Chain A
Amino acid sequence: MDAGLSVELVHRLSHLDLDVRLDVGRETLALVGPSGAGKSTLLHAVAGLVRPLRGRVSNGDRVLLDTARGLDLSPEARRVGLVYQHGALFPFMTVAGNVAYGVRGDRRARIRRTRQILDRFGIAYLAGASPARLSGGERQRVALARALASDPEVLLLDEPLSALDAVTKAEVAAELDLRLREFGLPTILVSHDFTDVLGLAGRVAVLQQGRIVQTGTPSDLVEAPASAFVASLAGVNYFSGTAARHGDLTEVRADGWTRALVSTDEMLGPVGVVVYPWEVSLAARVPEGSALNAVAGSVRRVSRMGNRARVSIEALPAIVAEVTEESVRSLGLAPGAAVVASWKATATRLVPAAPRASSDR
């Protein structure tokens, strides 16, 4: 990709080695991984706030960093905008002062541009307010406006949604989506929560222990996670097993399972098994039907999300089901309750087995 951001970094941190290659066109790439995976360090290295051991960062024809050639542009020369998780607004300036801070040009041009940005982001009514008095959503909006007011050529967002409550999160995400489309910059959005980036990012790169283990569209990751780790981030069930043909169906077995899982996919040998939580039904006893997979166990945890609930079931293999609030009530699902999880053979998706990554836990 010659237009867009290209990042190659090797860096040593106290707890892990970061070794990453990323290409971001005029799109939003989400970088997802648990805390401590090296996400923020990567952003800081792209912004020029951290000097990596080795690496090259370029945006189009502009080279921002090339350690092999001893080239390292300072952060202020890179034109890389960075939005922090809590906004990092200057507390001793008003909202207008914050937005005006990075605007280029003479005094007249700066005032005009600042006013224009404030209007465009719908925050003109906050111009004279102090950052301390803003709500979480307002703070994020001002932080984004401030970053974009300085006309960056690349945008980095460090967990912009994770400090917000659910309602505010949805509002800010909608606004963010609008702005990212409008400005069309190569953008890296860092998040520890896969669901936060759905709808915002066209592609997702999963960072685990300093390395990118899978890159793809959000649905790629849900449909064919490359590892149990990616699957757990994407919120789907993932098992490793060995597949064998059995008539028209495929049977997958693994050590410790009470019985084989049945799939309509055709595959042999070591495989990954993906089962979507929303395709798993729960019942008090084993339901009728021939091609059904059924696993008996006990409820470990019930977490509600709106009118749906995710139910974690202690069984072999352990499985997560997503059911309606009504099923939770009618089946009396509470920690410890006995339950049978079942799903169709067509809902048992087989994907190539994950290569045994050394960092896989």
Chain B
Amino acid sequence: MQRSDRVAAFGAAAATAILMGFVVLPILAIFVRVPPSALFAQLRSHVALAALGVSLRSTIVALALIVVFGTPAAYVLATKRFRGAGVLTVLLELPLVLPPAVAGIGLFAAFGRFGLLGGTLRAFGIQIPFSQAAVVMALTFVAMPFYTRQAVAAFVAMDHELLGASRTLGKGGAATFFRVAVPLARQGLSAGAALAWARALGEFGATILFAGSFSGRTQTLPLAIYAQFSGGNVDGALAMSGLLVLVSAGLLVGVRVLVRTRPEEATWTPAFPSNSSIA
């Protein structure tokens, strides 16, 4: 009995060690292969800076779209009971399991020159594929469910009595959403936003199919890494990879810190003396 326990404990420890090694080694390798000085030199290259700019701009716009559209949608799905709510929830999560290449083709088939809405868009003089708008759409499509999933879960977990209390205190549905639901769910919402941002930063397949890889216009960091790598500039690819690792790890740590934030901490006190005595 004791012997088998020891064997099991050893086995579990070994499995953990092997797994950690497998995850840490490639990340470590990126920084070992390129000395920091070379890393910084590579990062000052025109291609890397342009890609970083495209990545930051497009992910921030995509994240804003995701939050603005995803938060109310998640709130409705989490709090209202209606026919078809389950189907809607599944549809919203579909991009999570869809191969990114399929997402890219789908976007192309919908918004491309000869796509479903292509004619309508052309009539308005709008051409989406291979533009920065296409990058943002690809990122939004792929990263949206990472946010909405967390948001739905956070809204479901709310104490619904607090919503009822807000309504009976004279606040309408919209005011209750902004003043009670969002603050209550803010941890889940922030965590979801960070995850969606991380996913958008790493997006590759849907972007390259729908937006192409034009340096300075649609070439995001992952696309630039691939371009450098296939062009033979392995050091450049490694340097940009290192940059992505740092940004992503920063986001992950950020999520951890946000989730640990004390929920009971008060954030708003009107101008009152906090220690006035009772009359």
A binding-site residues for B, Cβ under 8 Å:
44, 47-49, 74-76, 78-82, 84, 86, 88, 90-94, 96-97, 100-102, 104, 110-111, 114-115, 118-119, 122, 124-125, 127-133, 146-147, 150, 152
Contacts and interface: CB of A to CB of B under 8 A. Distances in A.
Nearest to A101: B169
Contact of A44 (B164, B271, B278): B164
Given A88-B162, A91-B264, A114 B276 contact: no
A160 B275 CA distance: 27
Nearest to A81: B168
Given A76-B172, A102-B171, A88 B184 contact: no
Nearest to B268: A97
Interface string B176-218: 0001100110100000000000000000000000000000000
Residue of B168, B170, B186, B274 ringed by the most chain A CB atoms within 10 A: B168
A91 B167 contact: no
Given A88-B165, A124-B278, A104 B170 contact: yes
B187 to A, nearest CB: 10
A273 to B, nearest CB: 43
Nearest to A119: B279
B154 to A, nearest CB: 13
A49 B274 CA distance: 34
Given A119-B279, A124-B278, A127-B276, A82 B164 contact: yes
A100 B179 CA distance: 13
A152 B262 CA distance: 33
Nearest to B264: A132
A115 B277 CA distance: 12
Contact of B162 (A81, A90, A96): A90
Contacts of A127: 269, 272-274, 276
Greatest chain B CB density within 10 A among A47, A81, A111, A128 is at A128
B279 A97 contact: no
Interface residues of B, number: 35
B270 interface: yes
Pairs of residues from A and B, 5 with the lowest C-beta to C-beta distance, nearest first: A102-B169, A128-B274, A132-B264, A75-B167, A130-B266
Contacts, number: 121
Contacts of B270: 96-97, 100, 110-111, 114
A125 B277 CA distance: 6
A94 B168 contact: no
Interface string B238-279: 000000000000000000000000011111111111111111
Contacts of A110: 270
Interface in B154-169: 159, 161-162, 164-169
Contact of B164 (A78, A79, A88): A88
Contact of A97 (B170, B266, B275, B276): B266
Contacts of B276: 124-125, 127
Contacts of B272: 96, 111, 114-115, 118, 124, 127-128
A86 B162 CA distance: 11
Contact of B278 (A111, A114, A122): A122
A150 B274 contact: no
A49 B263 contact: no
Given A88-B162, A104-B170, A129-B266, 9 more contacts: A82-B168, A93-B267, A97-B269, A101-B169, A110-B270, A125-B278, A128-B266, A128-B269, A128-B272
Interface-central residue, B162, B265, B270, B277, by most chain A CB under 10 Å: B270
Contacts of B173: 74
Interface string B87-101: 000000000000000
A89 to B, nearest CB: 8
A97 B278 CA distance: 18
